[in-house]
Amino acid sequence: MINVLILGGDGYLGWPTAMYFSSRGYEVTVVDNYFRRNACTELDTAMLYAIPTLIERAKLWYELTGFEIKVVIADLSESESMRRLFDGRLKYQWAINEKYSGLPEILIHYAEQPSAPYSLMDYKHADVTLINNLRVTNNLLWAVKDYSPDTHVIKLGTMGEYGTPNIDIEEGWLDIEHKGRKDTFLYPRQASSLYHTTKIMDTDLMWFGVRMWDLKVTDLMQGPVYGIETDESQIDHRLRTIFNYDEVFGTIVNRFIVQGCVGYPLTVYGGGGQTRGYLNIKDALQCVHKSAESPAKSGELRIFNQIMETFSVNELADTIQRVGLNRGFDVKVSHIENPRKELEEHYYNPVYQGLIDIGVEPHYLTDDVISDMFSIVEQYQDNIRTDVIFRGVKW
Amino acid sequence: MINVLILGGDGYLGWPTAMYFSSRGYEVTVVDNYFRRNACTELDTAMLYAIPTLIERAKLWYELTGFEIKVVIADLSESESMRRLFDGRLKYQWAINEKYSGLPEILIHYAEQPSAPYSLMDYKHADVTLINNLRVTNNLLWAVKDYSPDTHVIKLGTMGEYGTPNIDIEEGWLDIEHKGRKDTFLYPRQASSLYHTTKIMDTDLMWFGVRMWDLKVTDLMQGPVYGIETDESQIDHRLRTIFNYDEVFGTIVNRFIVQGCVGYPLTVYGGGGQTRGYLNIKDALQCVHKSAESPAKSGELRIFNQIMETFSVNELADTIQRVGLNRGFDVKVSHIENPRKELEEHYYNPVYQGLIDIGVEPHYLTDDVISDMFSIVEQYQDNIRTDVIFRGVKW
């Protein structure tokens, strides 16, 4: 069996990824320190529904499918916790077979603080974001170098690393001609939040490791993900992923659908012309899996732009409003003063072909997809706390 | 009086900078946690001569010149230590006038782990470098934003951020035309050590602060500095700066002169075609001072390439050998296997005009300058430990 190690296995993408690989015959180990859940508690950002612990989920998954997902509860910003995953000292918090799975062929790195507003609440949350994200990535870099340089590392970057440049966004690299000479560089990056800036730094760290120690790295420049259900969570609703709908941890489509469901006007920041690339959570899993199936080579930092289509905020709001109204929800749209410093009208033309070329088959944000999300959210309508949706983190 | 705050005021550049500004009528405060000294002790990297504590130096400076340099001993990677410099809670460890100097007009940020080999000794030293450098810079960013956005921040970058690209190195920025459209970006950067990578990250952090909060930042992309004596240290030898001659903390010219002085063959790594830009410590001080005299504007990240001339390692070795032999030293040159992964032959054509344009008058690495360095090093010849010069940190 191919051994997959998922760092941040309790998160919005982490747990669905674990089930996705597990159901396809991989030997999966998940590691998490419950950072995201604890942050939700600290900040009083509600979840749409309660989720079982990672161990409960793994047990349930085993009962329902016969597949084992081994669980490690550990803070990977501590270097020894990271190294223990590789050097044989590891003890699982839960496993059917307690024997060490061995060095991972594939390592998927999600173990980061993933929210722009969180990173800019104040200097303390900035510090948590910067240090957690950089420390985990650096610990990973050294553990892979020291113990397992053949492991294919798949890490999440973000399209936000590129910002909104006035030229086309290529997939990771840019050929530059200057004063009659040529070279190829990482595509120039300037992010519009501190969180997104830590992802630039992650890329820099891994690129250093690739050049110096011939590591194998795939860096997925992902856009905002939407969606709740995946094929695996359809087996039992208790397998559904963590779902936030507030400004800090709720991504825009997810948040807008919850807002629409309870008559809370969709909060469009400023003009609403901000354009980004989006993808369905099912495609996020597909992208990671297809990347795993055709790994990067030794000494290669392979970068894909992980989006399936682009929308402006206004387009998202209008589409979700239209579908919601058709479903009988009282969906309003409200333009509020932009709490962020960002361009509200800008050029945006990213390339996103690499993942299609390795076999990803896109799902799009159709009316049916939006309608299905309304249906699931509606089941939890009584849980929705309108007081925590908008917080107004400014930068 | 103009108030200058120097973070990392005990280091190779920090203390000479403090004296330089103090003797020119600025009100100077230095902050340090003795990281560098402690690291020298930990790693057993000798100093050419013992140096007094920061408080001893400040007292001596006051006795000899009548100028006060206030001293704070603090670890600025702790956010409260940084914020205390701005919010009035500050207590000086030594000062003549114990009243708070007030918010700094000028802040000079040297408070970083500055060695490439240190950063790559192992995962622990990598972590110390990454976390110290990023945390101090991030704490600085937030303290300036929250308390003193008009402060002109002068920080040290490094020419190493650019690496050795196959196109000309501009001063910080590059205009790019791509598929018929244009934009201007930070010059693409890829460093050849983890330390140098942290400096790329520093630049990213400050650039974020400049764009979001209109901070005023000058980023000095400095090459390796050489030299011992400055005009201020000539007053009394006890005012001389910390001087290392080992592979970890000794910069190449300083190290080669010490090696030449004791007949330890100059250690040229590999082919010796590695070319970099260099400057005299006197010019490093001039550059910072001239930058302070003509500050960056609000919302400006002003970048200068802080070098005065370029040399290959072979050119440095040959020149130092020739001058040393003329002085009667037994200077040999030895090509050893390169412990680093770097290009030994490469294109290198950096622009370095901005600092000249604001009034810096370069000193060059003349035979007289080298000869004077031999003279000072010779005074301490009995202190030199040949066993600590070469350590062989590999990457």
Which residues partner with B236 through β-bridges?
Answer: none
Q: What is the pLDDT of residue B88?
A: 87
In terms of phi and psi (left: phi > 0; alpha: psi -120 to 50; beta: otherwise), the region of B88 is left
A174 to chain B, closest Cα gap in Å: 9
B384 to chain A, closest Cα gap in Å: 33
Using a CB-CB distance cutoff of 8 angstroms, which residues of chain B are in contact with residue A121?
none
Distance of alpha carbon B292 from alpha carbon B6, whole angstroms? 12
Distance of alpha carbon A365 from alpha carbon A318, whole angstroms? 13
Query: Is residue B347 annotated as a catalytic residue, yes or no?
Result: no
* CB-based contact, B395 to chain A, within 8 Å: yes
Query: Is residue A17 annotated as a catalytic residue, yes or no?
Result: no
Pairing assessment for the beta strands A225-226 and A3-7 based on DSSP bridges: unpaired
Distance of alpha carbon B151 from alpha carbon B296, whole angstroms? 10
Chain-chain contact of A131 with B126 (C-beta, under 8 angstroms): no
Q: How confident is the model over B238-292, as pLDDT tens digits?
A: 999 999 999 999 999 999 999 999 999 999 999 999 999 999 999 999 999 999 9
Distance of alpha carbon A326 from alpha carbon A299, whole angstroms? 52
Best mutation target among B194, B206, B301 (most A Cβ atoms within 10 Å) is: B194
Of B7, B141, B133, the closest CA to residue A119 belongs to B141
Q: Considering only alpha carbons, which residue of chain A is nearest residue B180?
A: A167
* CB-based contact, A186 to chain B, within 8 Å: yes
Query: Is residue A110 annotated as a catalytic residue, yes or no?
Result: no
User: Chain B 344-363, CB below 8 Å of chain A: which residues?
Assistant: 347
Chain-chain contact of A211 with B190 (C-beta, under 8 angstroms): yes
- pLDDT, chain B, mean: 97
What are the two backbone dihedrals, phi and then psi, of residue A11, each rounded to the nearest 5 degrees? -85, -175
Using a CB-CB distance cutoff of 8 angstroms, which residues of chain A are in contact with residue B142?
122-123, 126
Pairing assessment for the beta strands A216-222 and A300-306 based on DSSP bridges: parallel
Distance of alpha carbon B346 from alpha carbon B190, whole angstroms? 15
Q: Considering only alpha carbons, which residue of chain A is nearest residue B186?
A: A188
Using a CB-CB distance cutoff of 8 angstroms, which residues of chain A are in contact with residue B341?
211-212
A201 to chain B, closest Cα gap in Å: 6
Q: How many CB pairs under 8 A join A and B?
A: 135
Residue A362 exposure: Cα atoms within 13 Å on the Cβ side = 18
* CB-based contact, A207 to chain B, within 8 Å: yes
Of B204, B211, B256, the closest CA to residue B384 belongs to B256
Which residues partner with A158 through β-bridges?
Answer: A222
B347 to chain A, closest Cα gap in Å: 10
Of A261, A236, A229, the closest CA to residue A383 belongs to A261
* CB-based contact, B144 to chain A, within 8 Å: no
Chain-chain contact of A204 with B200 (C-beta, under 8 angstroms): yes
Using a CB-CB distance cutoff of 8 angstroms, which residues of chain B are in contact with residue A116?
none
A239 to chain B, closest Cα gap in Å: 36
Cβ contacts of residue B246 below 8 Å, gap of 6+?
A: B45, B46, B255, B388, B389, B390, B391
Q: Which of A20, A92, A118, A195 is catalytic?
A: A195
Cβ atoms of A216 and A297 closer than 8 Å: yes
Q: How many residues does chain B have?
A: 395
Please state the separation of Cα B197 from the chain's center in Å: 15
Which residues partner with A275 through β-bridges?
Answer: A312
Q: How many residues does chain A have?
A: 395
**pTM of the predicted model over 0.95:** yes
Using a CB-CB distance cutoff of 8 angstroms, which residues of chain B are in contact with residue A213?
395
Q: What is the pLDDT of residue B42?
A: 96
**Within chain B, which residues score under 50 in pLDDT?**
none
Cβ contacts of residue A366 below 8 Å, gap of 6+?
A: none
Q: Which of B123, B138, B211 sits opposite A79 (nearest CB)?
A: B123
- Which of the 8 DSSP states describes residue A351? -
**Within chain A, which residues score under 70 in pLDDT?**
none
Distance of alpha carbon B175 from alpha carbon A86, whole angstroms? 44
Using a CB-CB distance cutoff of 8 angstroms, which residues of chain A are in contact with residue B79?
123-124, 127
Distance of alpha carbon A27 from alpha carbon A3, whole angstroms? 5
Q: What is the pLDDT of residue A88?
A: 87
Chain-chain contact of B174 with A174 (C-beta, under 8 angstroms): no
Residue B261 exposure: Cα atoms within 13 Å on the Cβ side = 26
* CB-based contact, B337 to chain A, within 8 Å: no
* CB-based contact, A99 to chain B, within 8 Å: no
Q: Which of A155, A199, A216, A290 is catalytic?
A: A199
Distance of alpha carbon B219 from alpha carbon B207, whole angstroms? 10
Distance of alpha carbon A186 from alpha carbon B158, whole angstroms? 19
